Amino acid sequence: MTGRATHVSRAWGFTLAGRFARRGPSSRQRAVTLTEVMVAASVGLIVSVALVGFLDLMAKMSKSVLSQLKFTHYARQTIERTARVIRYAKRIEVRDGGTRLLCTDERNRTSAILYRDDDGNSRTLSNNRLYFVANVDGDPTNETMIGRFISPIRGKPIFRYLDRTSAVEINFRVGDPTNDPGASFQRETGPGPQGVDVTTAFGPRNSYLD
């Protein structure tokens, strides 16, 4: 009886030990699990870095698009304001190497549109502007800004006018298509070819009155 019990207990002990041995992971299994964790962490890190880079790129692209839209808006405003003055003029004269346009209307009041580079450096576009003077003879200091971020196009005057049989040619640039690091809007969008080249012409409607 005792021998049989001993035999049974040994069998049960062997069975339990075998079960415990099968349930517990081996050292090799533990090493594989650690490797998998490291690989998963590496993949997660790579994906996170890629995602951050993608979001940063999308943010810059969004700012660049908004900047381009802003410069297009400025260019349209400048063209509309300049065209309004030219169309109601009966006499037109270009001075100062094509940077000043004088327009005299049917009431013989002369207005001016002029380009000014406030710091004498055409590369710093933030202070290069077009101004409108409503009455040159009456109040020449009363100026209104009608264009910002303006620069001449190389080889072309801003204003060119031959005679009353022709139109007034207008050439200027709005924005920074030359990737100018000195322009203030670069702090908003970073470097990039952001800008609009304007080349157009308008004819005076009332030139026959003179």
On whether both 28 and 123 belong to a single domain, the answer is no
On whether both 85 and 179 belong to a single domain, the answer is yes
3-state secondary structure of 156: coil
Choice among 1-5, 49-53, 58-62, 167-171 with the minimum mean pLDDT? 1-5
Percent above pLDDT 70 for the chain: 67
Domain count, the chain: 2
User: Given this model, what pLDDT does residue 68 score?
Assistant: 77
On whether both 102 and 205 belong to a single domain, the answer is yes
If pLDDT is split at 50, 70 and 90, which confidence band does 8 have?
very low
Output the average pLDDT for the chain: 77
Global confidence as pTM: 0.66
What domain range is 205 assigned to?
A: 67-209
On whether both 108 and 161 belong to a single domain, the answer is yes
On whether both 86 and 175 belong to a single domain, the answer is yes
On whether both 118 and 204 belong to a single domain, the answer is yes
Q: Does residue 62 lie within any of the structural domains?
A: no
Contacts of 181 (CB under 8 A, 6+ apart): 191
User: Given this model, what pLDDT does residue 86 score?
Assistant: 94
| H helix or E strand, kind and range, residue 129 | strand 128-133
Contacts of 112 (CB under 8 A, 6+ apart): 100, 101, 102, 103, 132, 133, 136
Asked whether the CA dihedral 158, 110, 95, 87 is positive or negative, the reply is: positive
On whether both 105 and 39 belong to a single domain, the answer is no
Q: Does residue 73 lie within any of the structural domains?
A: yes
On whether both 104 and 45 belong to a single domain, the answer is no
Q: Does residue 60 lie within any of the structural domains?
A: no
- Winning range, highest mean pLDDT, from 4-18, 34-48, 51-65: 34-48
On whether both 27 and 73 belong to a single domain, the answer is no
Overall average pLDDT of the 191-206 stretch:
82
Residues 137-178: tens digit of each pLDDT: 999 889 999 998 898 988 999 999 988 888 999 999 998 756
